[in-house]
Structure formats: C-alpha cells, structure tokens
Chain A
Amino acid sequence: MADAAPPSKSRDLDKLLLRPGNLVGPTFDPGVQLRDDLQEYARVLVVGAGGLGCELLKDLALSGFKNLEVIDMDRIEVTNLNRQFLFRLEDVGKPKAEVAAKRVMERISGVNIVPHFCRIEDKDIRFYNDFNIIALGLDSIEARSYINAVACSFLEYDSDDNPQEETMKPMVDGGTEGFKGHARVIVPGVTPCFECTIWLFPPQVKFPLCTLAETPRNAAHCIEYAHLIKWDEVHSGKAFDPDNPDHMKWVYDEAVKRAELFGIPGVTYSLTQGVVKNIIPAIASTNAIISAACTLETLKIASGCSKTLSNYLTYNGVEGLHTKVTEFVKDENCLVCGPGVLIELDTTVTLEKFIDLLGEHPKLLMTKASITYRGKNLYMQAPPVLEEMTRSNLEVPLYDLMDKIPKDVLHATGTIDKDGKRSSGLRKLRVVFKGIDGVTDMDMAGGA
C-alpha cells in the first residue's frame, strides 16, 4: 500500500459525511458538498474555555468545524494546567479564551477561532443569534440557565403552537464533576430545555448556621464557620471574595484555629478552597470523554449524519464504567421554552379588560392575575404596596404598556381553574395585536 495516496485529513469525517446510512437524520444529504458547506457555513460558539472548553475547541476543530468562537471571562491559573491542556505555565494570568483560541489555531490549520474575553451577560443577545449551534462547557447552574434563556428567546411558535424550525437554536451541554459527567442535546421547542429539568440538579449541601456556630463536627463545618460567620464579624461590611488569595488564606487560618479548638482534624488549604468555592476535583479524562460526546452531537446536529442522542447522557466512571441515555420530557408549561398561550387583542384593550379576559380564556381560566412584561410589573394583586403602585396601569391600553410592540411575550400569575380544581399558577402568554402593519406579514412568512 506504499504507493496509495496519502490519507485525506478528513478521512474519518468523510466516512460519516460522504456515505448514506440507515441511522441518518431525515435531512441528511451526504456528499462532498455537505462536508465543504459544513466547514464554510456552520458557526459554533463554545461557552467556557476551561476544562471542558479546551477539549471542545480541540475536538470541534478536529471534526472539521472551521468557524468557531469561544467566550470565557476567566484568566488562567496555575491550578488549571493539569487538565486545561492548551495552557502553559507562561500563560498564567492571561485570558483563557484568547490563549485557547490561539493554541488551537496554531495546531490545526484552516480553523478560525474568535475569542471573547468577557462575561456571557456582556454580549448583546444578537451575538448569540449569529451561531448555528452553541456548545456549553460550563460549571454553574446560573450560567447554563442564562444561555438557555437566551437561546430559547429566539424560538417562535406558529399560530397552532408548533415551534418554527428556523428559529431553533440548538445547544449541546456538557458537564463534569470528578469522575461523573453528562452530555445533553437541547433543541428548544423539541427537547426539554435546561429549565424544564432544572430539578435534576441536587440542591447544594448547606449546613445549619447554628451547627457551624455551636457544634462543628467536621473540617467543612470549621471552614464554613470561618467563611460565613467569622468573616462578617471581623470585616464588617467588606464582602468576601473567593478569588482573592488573601481572603482565602484568612478563612483557612481561621478554620485551622476553629478546628484546633474543637479537636477536629483535616482542615487543609485545598479543602478550604473546595468547600468555599464548591469545587470537586476535576478529572482530565472525564472532560475528554464528555467533550467527545458533545462534539459528536454537534456534528450530528449540523450535518444530520445521524440522529442525535435523546436526550441526556450520563457517564459515571467512579467504579468501572456506567453510561446511560435518558429521554427526559418537556414541561409543556415551561416558561422558558414552552409555547405559552396565544392571545389576540385589539390595541384598545386596557390592562384591566385584559385581566378579565384571562378569566374567560378557555385555555387559561385564570383569575386574579398579576402581569409582568420584560421586567416591568404592569399589575400586582399583592402585596398592597405594589398593588397601589401599579393600579394606575389598569386603565391604560395594554398595547401602550407593551411599548406598542405588535407581538411579544408576557407572563401572568393567578388562580387557575383546571377541571374544577383551583390552583395558583404562572403562565407565559403570547400576545398579538390585531390590525398592526407588519404582524400579518410576519405571520404569513412564518407559515409559508
């Protein structure tokens, strides 16, 4: 075989993209065109350039994606270097996103990676709409919840409550904690979004304050005492900053004193960091495995070369190896990704009339509704102080209160009558005003 042509750089990818198959997605159209288009047009955003983010960037770049961007607000620390393999000792202190982008571009020719050294909240929402797929390598519920809300906010439903495909912004979410990890595919409107299944996350372990103050029994109690109680006693008003080494050292020293007082062993500096910042030691191989799964799903979504996993893969390498895919279901009433209830209104309808209408609407039957719109509380039934402040809105047309936007989402809380049972509920409402130029056009474009 010595005279055979050198193997193509995309040899393995070609096996997936150039040949038809039995397990392919419904729109799969194999061929060179697909492979080349994928490289030219597919734009993927990687959120996070830490343990998972480094792996994701490398894997995506090696899988033929050429237009990548990465966003991360952190700078490189010495303790990252054991697993965040794109970083070197001399990089310590530099922005993760910038170094990661540079290193991958140096090693893999033809790939272009744009780094963004900032918080995810700093970017305009339009920034996120520019990508076909968003891959998440994050370590917090807050950040996932934020990106999920952004991605789901692009989703639109037609008048029959069917999600419109061209407005879906798929996400692939990876997460690791020690030897455990997960990879999931979120296609807003099709699979459960992050908020539909937020209950999957176990609550953080929190010790009772009085145990910390009175009866500490282990090293973590001593550390939390120093962190939550002693810090405030000594530094009145000054906030504790977990990223400030002096603050961390102070908490560690106090925790040691506390532990000595109660004869408790085991307080170390790294345990202090772990307890205060809620860190579980990261394992490089877990990141690699989860990232590989996420990258494959990204490739599947982009190319259609296979059906995606449905929809949540868990991996456990603590003892031997266990892996399983669970198909979670959507929360039909999800406030973030659900369709909500479509309501058509005349522009003259006042807020008061609108609230009355909610009581008659067959899909809602909501009475005593409080209404909130884009962070503005239009009307609050309680408490009295807010009711008084919002009462004057009742006689104003809803159209005016919604800044004359012809079509938008608002939320209502109230008492819902369902099958004769009354319970309190929070609902998403898609309000469309009749007879406004532009709205009808948009609807027709969507339905066509």
Chain B
Amino acid sequence: MIRLFKVKETQKELAGNSDGGTPTKKQSAGELRLHKDIAELNLPDCCTISFPNGKDDLMEFEVTISPEDGFYVGGAFKFSFQVSPVYPHDAPKVKCIPKVYHPNIDYEGNVCLNILREDWKPVLNINTIIYGLYHLFTEPNYEDPLNHEAAEVLKNDPKAFKNNVKMAMSGNYVKGLGYTKFY
C-alpha cells in the first residue's frame, strides 16, 4: 500500500532540492534483448552485418549473405531487418533488397520463411533468422512458393531452374522480369 501523503511531501521536497535526480527513460526491453542478440551473434564467414545508423542504433540493420554453394554462388544478397520495440514478442520485419529469382522470395523482397511469421517464438533470435535465410539459398524449396513460376521450374526441371538463376544473377530478364546483376 502506498503512503500517499507522505509520498506527496517527499515529492515536494525532492522537487525543491534539485533536478539532478530526475531519471530519464531507459532503453526499451526490446532494445536490450536485441543488444544481447547482436552481442552474441556468431555468423558464418559468408554472412556480414552492417548498421547503417551507426553503432548505437541496432533496431535497423542489414545482413548480406554470400552463399558458398548451391544455385546462388556468386551473389551477395542483402536483407534489411527492422526490429520492433516489443521484440522478441514480435518477429523482426525482414526484406530482401536485391531482386532475386527465388521460389521463396517474391519480386517485392517478401520472404517466405516460417520463423519470420507463423513459427516465430521469443526464444528464437537474430542468429536463427540469419541461418534460416542462409538456408533458403542453399536449399530453395518449391513447397512454400512466393514466386510461383520459379517454384514450378525448380520442381519440374532443376536444370532449367539453375539456368534461370544464372540468367537472373547476370542481370538478364527471366519471364519478362529484370533481376539484380551479380556477375
């Protein structure tokens, strides 16, 4: 129970004394948890992270994945991460920046990765998401398509798919859409 009126007097005294003790807002719990995730990042060599707003703003950052095997060798795929103040209750918002011909990434950069949406749990972290994204490049999967056409090709004719990826990554059009050039 609060001793309201004693409190009142104390407050008045404090206010009279000085302003020095006035607390300022602390970091949000989401920022602190993110700080922990970032400080514990353990990325493979093929993944790099950068902070466009400098070392003190971790809530927005970019991760670049350069696959070492699979269809996408030779590319460097940059993803933007946006983290909410109520992280890890909400998953970060992740978008793929370059235009990539990929069954699980659409032309707007939306990514179909279960742990980014329906399977997100607060025990997961930034590291798990980055590994999940990396996995999309080594094992693109036609069962969860966002780019329907690419998924069909991968399913029915992996050789043609490989060829389409090469075409796209060298900056050519595939089925009428232009993609980001990597080589």
Taking beta carbons and an 8 Å cutoff, which residues of A are in contact with B?
Answer: 25-28, 37-38, 41-42, 125-126, 129, 132-133, 141-142, 145-146, 149-150, 153-154, 165-166, 168, 170, 187, 195, 198-199, 201, 203-204, 206-210, 213-214, 228-229, 232-233, 236, 300-304, 307-308, 335-336, 370, 372, 374-377, 380-383, 385-386, 389-390, 409, 411, 413-414, 424, 426, 438, 442
Q: Are B51's CB and A372's CB within 8 A? A: no
Q: List 25 A-B contacts (CB under 8 A).
A: A37-B5, A42-B4, A126-B22, A142-B85, A145-B29, A145-B85, A145-B86, A149-B25, A153-B25, A165-B3, A166-B6, A168-B2, A199-B122, A206-B91, A207-B118, A208-B144, A304-B2, A304-B4, A308-B1, A380-B38, A380-B39, A380-B55, A386-B51, A389-B55, A413-B40
Please measure, in the bound complex, the distance between the C-alpha atom of A303 and the C-alpha atom of B7, giving whole angstroms.
Answer: 12
Q: Are B58's CB and A377's CB within 8 A? A: yes
Query: Cβ of A26: which chain B residues have Cβ within 8 Å of it?
Result: 1
Nearest CB on B from A173, distance (A): 15
Answer whether residue B110 sits at the interface, using C-beta atoms and an 8 A cutoff: yes
Which of A198, A303, A375 touches B31 (beta carbons < 8 Å)?
A375
Starting from the known contacts A207-B118, A232-B110, A304-B4, 14 additional A-B residue pairs (CB-CB under 8 Å) come to A27-B3, A42-B4, A129-B22, A142-B85, A149-B26, A153-B24, A165-B2, A166-B7, A166-B11, A201-B89, A376-B56, A377-B55, A380-B55, A381-B40
Which of A38, A133, A208, A442 touches B117 (beta carbons < 8 Å)?
A208
Query: Cβ of A232: which chain B residues have Cβ within 8 Å of it?
Result: 108, 110
Query: Cβ of B56: which chain A residues have Cβ within 8 Å of it?
Result: 375-377
Query: Cβ of A209: which chain B residues have Cβ within 8 Å of it?
Result: 106, 110-112, 117, 146
Answer whether residue B50 sits at the interface, using C-beta atoms and an 8 A cutoff: yes
Please measure, in the bound complex, the distance between the C-alpha atom of A27 and the C-alpha atom of B108, giving whole angstroms.
Answer: 62
Query: Cβ of A203: which chain B residues have Cβ within 8 Å of it?
Result: 89, 120-121
List the B residue with the shortest CB-CB distance to A164: B10
List the A residue with the shortest CB-CB distance to B21: A442
Answer whether residue B8 sits at the interface, using C-beta atoms and an 8 A cutoff: yes
Query: Cβ of B91: which chain A residues have Cβ within 8 Å of it?
Result: 206
Which of A132, A199, A375 touches B27 (beta carbons < 8 Å)?
A375
Interface of chain B residues 18 through 58 with chain A (CB within 8 A): 20-33, 35-36, 38-43, 48-51, 55-56, 58
Please measure, in the bound complex, the distance between the C-alpha atom of A201 and the C-alpha atom of B55, giving whole angstroms.
Answer: 31
Query: Cβ of A389: which chain B residues have Cβ within 8 Å of it?
Result: 55
Answer whether residue B84 sits at the interface, using C-beta atoms and an 8 A cutoff: yes
Answer whether residue B104 sits at the interface, using C-beta atoms and an 8 A cutoff: yes
Please measure, in the bound complex, the distance between the C-alpha atom of A413 and the C-alpha atom of B4, giving whole angstroms.
Answer: 38
Please measure, in the bound complex, the distance between the C-alpha atom of A183 and the C-alpha atom of B89, giving whole angstroms.
Answer: 21
Query: Cβ of A374: which chain B residues have Cβ within 8 Å of it?
Result: 24, 26-27
Nearest CB on B from A23, distance (A): 12
Please measure, in the bound complex, the distance between the C-alpha atom of A190 and the C-alpha atom of B2, giving whole angstroms.
Answer: 11
Q: Are A125's CB and B32's CB within 8 A? A: no
Answer whether residue B145 sits at the interface, using C-beta atoms and an 8 A cutoff: yes
Nearest CB on B from A131, distance (A): 10
Answer whether residue B60 sits at the interface, using C-beta atoms and an 8 A cutoff: no
Q: Are A233's CB and B23's CB within 8 A? A: no
Interface of chain B residues 95 through 113 with chain A (CB within 8 A): 104, 106-108, 110-112
Please measure, in the bound complex, the distance between the C-alpha atom of A374 and the C-alpha atom of B25, giving whole angstroms.
Answer: 8
Interface centre among B4, B35, B85, B148 (most CB of A within 10 A): B4
Which of B6, B38, B40, B51 touches A424 (beta carbons < 8 Å)?
B40
Which of B11, B21, B23, B41 touches A125 (beta carbons < 8 Å)?
B23
Answer whether residue B114 sits at the interface, using C-beta atoms and an 8 A cutoff: yes
- A228-B110 in contact given A129-B22, A154-B23, A370-B39 (Cβ < 8 Å): yes
Which of A41, A146, A199, A380 touches B85 (beta carbons < 8 Å)?
A146
Q: Are B20's CB and A206's CB within 8 A? A: no
Please measure, in the bound complex, the distance between the C-alpha atom of A146 and the C-alpha atom of B31, giving whole angstroms.
Answer: 12
Q: Are B29's CB and A149's CB within 8 A? A: yes
Q: Are A210's CB and B23's CB within 8 A? A: no
Nearest CB on A from B3, distance (A): 5
Please measure, in the bound complex, the distance between the C-alpha atom of A232 and the C-alpha atom of B7, giving whole angstroms.
Answer: 53
List the A residue with the shortest CB-CB distance to B30: A145
Query: Cβ of A424: which chain B residues have Cβ within 8 Å of it?
Result: 36, 40
Please measure, in the bound complex, the distance between the C-alpha atom of A380 and the C-alpha atom of B39, giving whole angstroms.
Answer: 6
Q: Are B106's CB and A386's CB within 8 A? A: no
Query: Cβ of A204: which chain B residues have Cβ within 8 Å of it?
Result: 90
Query: Cβ of A390: which chain B residues have Cβ within 8 Å of it?
Result: 55
Please measure, in the bound complex, the distance between the C-alpha atom of A198 and the C-alpha atom of B44, giving whole angstroms.
Answer: 32
Q: Which 7 A-B pairs have the closest CB atoms?
A: A370-B39, A25-B1, A210-B144, A206-B117, A210-B112, A232-B108, A413-B36
